[in-house]
Amino acid sequence: MSRKNDLKFGRGKSVILLTIVGFIFLYTPIIVLIIYSFNYSRFSSTWGGWSLQWYYKLFDDSSMWLAIKNSLLIGIVSTIFATILGTMSALVIKRFVFKTKTLFTNLLFVPIVIPEIVLGILLLLLYNLIKLELGLTSIILAHITFSIPFVTLVVLNNLKNFDSTIEEVGMDLGATPWQIFWKITFPNISTGILAGALLAFTLSIEDFTITFFTSGPGATTLPLKIYSMIKFGITPEINAISTLLVLFTTIILGVMYFILNKQEKKILT
Amino acid sequence: MLELISLSKKYGNFKAVNNLNLVVKEGEFFSLLGPSGCGKTTTLRLIAGFEQPTSGKIQLNGKDITELPPFQRNINTVFQHFALFPHLSAFNNIAFGLRIKKKKENEIKQQVTEMLKFVSLEGKSDSLPNQLSGGQQQRVALARALINQPSILLLDEPLGALDEKLRDQMQVELSNLQKKVGITFIFVTHNQEEALTMADRIAVMKDGTIDHLGTPDEIYLKPSSTFTASFIGNTNLFKCVIETKTENSLMLRTENNFVFEKFDASGDNIVGKNLTISLRPEQIRLSRNNPHKNENGLKGIIKNEIFYGDMSIFWVTVLENIRVAVSMQNYVASENVSKPFQEGEEVFICWDKKSGHLITE
Ligand SMILES: Nc1ncnc2c1ncn2[C@@H]1O[C@H](COP(=O)(O)OP(=O)(O)OP(=O)(O)O)[C@@H](O)[C@H]1O
Ligand SMILES: [Mg+2]
């Protein structure tokens, strides 16, 4: 909720210029990437006219399909579990009072701020210790682990607007705790849960570092596949698949924005 | 019949409800009245079952319900800020209790429609709570509780969130509705006017216990403590001691050595006893002339007049620095309020020797 004010900061020409430079810096690589995915020429140094051939080639590649399938499977399964566990912990944290609440909310940030590579190594060590074979299962477990705090934070934020006296009303009207959750709590925080789930899903689909550490033979995900392709030189195929990834995440972010925005409007009216 | 027996609720070492005893009769409009923080909401939450008492018992129609969870008590609550389900329409809000009881859908439809009519919200059945006005939300909250036909309806300051006009209107509607349905209402408020106008009986609470329990008349005219006397309406309190006594009259001496007569036939007042007399502003009149024979009088100076439109309160200083409030109805001929007394004027304050209520503490 930004608000216009009369302060001078942010109005000077140099500030505007810097902002524009910043945006160019941010978006040039993405735009170049997208344009070159349509390049007919095999080499990114020359422009050979528009073409969709790299996309066709992509869809003919069976190992690419396998990677996409793995990514989607991991994404869906880990999202389901992370959403359930993350939502549950948000509901529990909400019930805590003062100090415990602050403690647990801060604890949530730890996995978010420690470097991914460290988390990846830690998980690898853990899986070795418990003799878990590396593969789809280990990746899914790892993705659940790093997604939970994100889901929890999104749901917690949503719960701030939730007046828990309506749960008491439910109890007053004869509902059991189970009925209260499904008929009262859930419908009122479902947008938060959905936003959390979408976030978890995008994080899972895009993750490289942690997946790299916890994957095993036959469990190649899309980012891992792209990385292995790069080893043999940057081909327009990589541009094509990256463009699709960008498109995919943009859509998800757009949906998330739409949901949260709609909900905010509902609260304000 | 609801009985609270030696009920206490502690938060840490703080006694929010302190050894409270209370009997609420069936079909009664009962009000819990008291200042903020005296334990009204806590008492209500104990009755509803949202809180467990630290000690004591709650009985409903002779059955001990202290241990029962809220959803097994035949008691419903209307919350202070209505707490409607924001995701459900007015219809579905009201239907909630019936759905939980797994009533048949056509039965629900019929009962809810009747209920909507009862609270005059026929056209609003599909509206979401945020599309309803405060008064309409209030009525949905009422209907949602009433449709379960509880033996007792608890209302926690249900009019607190409404503006004054609407509140006056809802006060009337609420007491009419209570008479119509005949359900016991326990109504919490810190607004004494609300309690006086609506309740059959009032319990004035202070520090987690009941200070005075009685009908509105009793509580207003014969408060048992100075706390109740000053909490209900305005009053002037004077500490005095009984100087002499005849068969039906006392001579009282105030702390400032002002001696006056008070007719009193009760036998328990003996010479030397300390008392407080409560004189309501409407029991005192202003006069430029000496008091009548059956009146006590004191000379004073009008410090200020507070104009309320229909009436005014005059603050008069007597005996050097004692402030006394005197109320007077304003007589309005044409557009001008005639002002019989001016600020700064010297007057007598007069009260009948029968007037005033004696409080022993
Ligand atoms: N959960 C709690 N923990 C600790 N103290 C509490 C709790 N609930 C209430 N209290 C304390 O108990 C006292 C009584 O509270 P209660 O809510 O019953 O007051 P009330 O009479 O309803 O006041 P109001 O008119 O302001 O609503 C207050 O001093 C309050 O601070
Ligand atoms: Mg209260």
Residue nearest to atom 8 of ligand 1 (CA): B42
Report residue B250 as tokens.
């006392």
List the single residue in A163, A168, A174 with the smallest CB-CB distance to B100.
A174
Give the separation between CA B30 and CA B18, rounded to whole angstroms: 20
Evaluate whether residue A46 is within a structural domain.
no
Rounded to an integer, the average pLDDT of A183-209 is: 91
The C-alpha atoms of residue B188 and residue B203 are separated, in whole angstroms, by: 10
Say how far apart CA A77 and CA A110 lie, in whole Å.
24
CATH number, domain containing residue B190: 3.40.50.300
Q: Hunting for tokens 């009303």 — which residue is that?
A: A169
Whether residue A233 is contained in a domain is answered as yes
Interchain contact A162–B (C-beta under 8 A): no
- At A217, which CATH number? 1.10.3720.10
- Alpha-carbon distance B263 to nearest alpha carbon in chain A (angstroms): 53
* pLDDT at B213 (0 to 100): 94
Cα B6 to ligand 2 centre (Å): 21
- Residues B261, B327, single domain; the answer is yes
- Cα dihedral A59/A60/A62/A66 (nearest 10): 0
Share of chain A above pLDDT 90, in %: 35
Contact present, B345 and B302 (Cβ < 8 Å):
yes
CA A174–ligand 1 middle distance (angstroms):
25
Q: Are A86 and A196 in contact (CB under 8 A)?
A: yes
Radius of gyration of chain A from its Cα atoms, rounded to whole angstroms = 23
The ligand minimizing its distance to the Cα of B45 is: 1
**pLDDT mean across residues, chain A:** 86
Domain boundary among B186, B214, B231: B231
Q: Among A54-58, A78-82, A118-122, B330-334, where is mean pLDDT lowest?
A: B330-334
pLDDT of residue A9: 60
Instruction: Note the pLDDT tens digit of each residue in B200-235.
Output: 999 999 999 999 999 999 999 999 999 999 898 889
The average confidence (pLDDT) of chain B is: 90
Nearest to B56 by CA among B64, B41, B45: B64
pLDDT of A85 reads 95
Ligand with smallest separation from the Cα of B35: 1
Burial B312-323 (b: 16+ CB within 10 A, else e): bebbbebeeebe
Pick from B70, B87, B130: which is nearest to A172 by CB?
B70
Q: Do B83 and A168 touch (CB under 8 A)?
A: yes
User: Best-predicted range by mean pLDDT among A55-64, A94-103, A121-130?
Assistant: A121-130
Cβ-nearest to A176 among B71, B79, B145: B71
**B187 with B247, same domain?**
no
Contact between B83 and A183 using a beta-carbon 8 Å cutoff: no
Cβ distance A168 to B79 less than 8 Å, yes or no, reads yes
Quick one: average pLDDT of A51-73? 87
Total beta-carbon pairs less than 8 A apart between chain A and chain B: 58
Is the pLDDT score of A269 beyond 70? no
Query: What is the pLDDT at residue A264?
Result: 63
- Same domain, yes or no, for B87 and B126? yes
Average pLDDT over residues B54-58: 94
pLDDT value at position A7?
55
Decide if pLDDT at B353 tops 70: yes
The preferred substitution site among B42, B77, B204, B211 for testing ligand 1, maximizing ligand atoms within 8 Å of CB, is B42
Domain containing A153: what range? 54-268
- Average pLDDT on A21-41 reads 87
CA distances in angstroms from A39 to A19, A187, A227, A236, listed in the order given: 30, 48, 21, 7
Ligand nearest to the CA of B16: 1
List, chain by chain if needed, residues with CB within 6 Å of any ligand 1 atom.
B 11, 16, 34, 36-42, 190
Q: Which residue of B has its CA nearest to A161?
A: B86
In this structure, is residue A251 part of a structural domain? yes
State how far the Cα of B311 lies from the Cα of B306, in Å rounded to an integer: 9
Contact assessment for residue B33 and residue B214, using Cβ atoms and an 8 Å cutoff:
no
Same structural domain for residues B191 and B259?
A: no
Is the CB of A165 inside 8 Å of chain B's CB atoms?
yes
Residues B12 and B131 reside in one and the same domain:
yes
Report which DSSP code applies to B273: -
Do B227 and B244 lie in a common domain?
Answer: no
Question: B141-172: per-residue pLDDT in tens?
Answer: 999 999 999 999 999 988 887 788 888 888 88
Do both B29 and B163 map to the same domain? yes
With respect to residue A47, please indicate whether it lies within any of the assigned structural domains: no
Nearest CA in chain A to B47: A172
Tell whether the torsion through CA atoms of A13, A15, A20 and A21 is positive or negative.
positive
Of A165, A174, A179, the CB nearest to B83: A165
| Residue B7, CA distances (Å) to B25, B123, B209, B261 in order | 18, 44, 9, 43
Closest CA to B194 of B151, B225, B164, B223: B164
Do B31 and B90 lie in a common domain? yes
Residues B52 and B201 in one domain: yes
pTM of model > 0.80: no
Total domains, chain B? 2
Cβ atoms A217, A224 nearer than 8 A: no
Looking from the CA of residue B12, the nearest atom of ligand 1 is 4
DSSP state of B131: G
pLDDT band, very low/low/confident/very high, at A1 (cuts 50, 70, 90): very low
- Would you say residue B186 has pLDDT above 80? yes
Those of residues 48-77 in B touching chain A at CB distance below 8 A are: 48, 50, 69-71, 75-77
Can you tell me which atom of ligand 1 is nearest the CA of B188? 22
Portion of chain A with pLDDT greater than 70, in percent: 93
Task: For residue range A198-241, list pLDDT tens digits in order.
Answer: 999 999 998 999 999 998 887 889 999 888 888 877 778 888 88
Distances from the Cα of B101 to the Cα of A77, B97, B167, angstroms: 36, 6, 33
Task: Write down the residue that tokens 């009548």 correspond to.
Answer: B292
* Residue A171 contacts B, CB cutoff 8 Å: yes
Query: Domain residues for B344?
Result: 236-359
pLDDT at residue A145 in the model: 93
Average pLDDT over residues B60-71: 90
Hey, whose CA ends up nearest to atom 25 of ligand 1?
Answer: B36
> Which pLDDT value is given to residue A2?
47
Asked if the C-beta of A205 comes within 8 angstroms of chain B's C-beta atoms, the answer is no
Supply the pLDDT for residue A10.
Answer: 59
Number of domains into which chain A is organized: 1
Please report, rounded to a whole number, the percentage of residues in chain B having pLDDT higher than 70. Answer: 98
In chain B, residues with a C-beta closer than 8 Å to the C-beta of A166 are 83-86
What's the B41 CA to ligand 1 centre distance in angstroms? 7
- Other C-beta atoms closer than 10 Å to the C-beta of A213 total 21
A72 in a structural domain: yes
Q: Which of B8, B41, B207 to mutate to test the pocket of ligand 1 (most atoms within 8 A of CB)?
A: B41
Residue where a domain terminates, one of B231, B261, B281: B231
Residue B282 CA to residue B326 CA, distance in Å, equals: 6
- B188 & B288 share domain: no
| Alpha carbon distance A37, B236 (integer Å) | 90
**What is the tens place of the pLDDT at every residue in B292-337?**
989 999 999 999 999 888 889 999 999 878 899 999 988 776 666 6
- Nearest ligand 1 atom to alpha carbon B40: 21
Q: Which of B96, B132, B149 to mutate to test the interface with A (most CBs of A within 10 A)?
A: B96
The pLDDT score that the predictor gives to residue A248 is 87
| Residue finishing a domain among B205, B231, B257 | B231
Regarding whether B276 and B169 lie in a shared domain, the answer is no
Question: Looking at the domain assignment, is residue A172 inside a domain?
Answer: yes
Most confident region among A78-82, A130-134, A196-200, B268-272 by mean pLDDT: A78-82
- Provide the pLDDT for residue B233: 85
- Spatial neighbors of B11 by CB under 8 A, at least 6 apart, are none
Within a domain: residue A216?
yes
B94 and B144, same domain (yes or no): yes
Atom of ligand 1 nearest to the CA of B80: 27
Ligand 2 centre and the CA of B80: distance in Å? 8
Task: Count other C-beta atoms under 10 Å from residue A264's C-beta.
Answer: 13
Query: Which of A173, A186, A262 to mutate to test binding with chain B, by most B CBs within 10 Å of its CB?
Result: A173
Asked if B148 reaches chain A (Cβ–Cβ under 8 Å), the answer is yes
Residue B43 CA: nearest ligand 1 atom is 18
pLDDT of A32 reads: 87
A120-138 mean pLDDT: 91
Q: Does residue A48 sit within a domain? A: no
Which atom of ligand 1 sits closest to the CA of residue B42? 18
Least confident of A31-45, B148-162, B282-296: A31-45
User: What is the residue with the minimal CA distance to atom 22 of ligand 1?
Assistant: B41
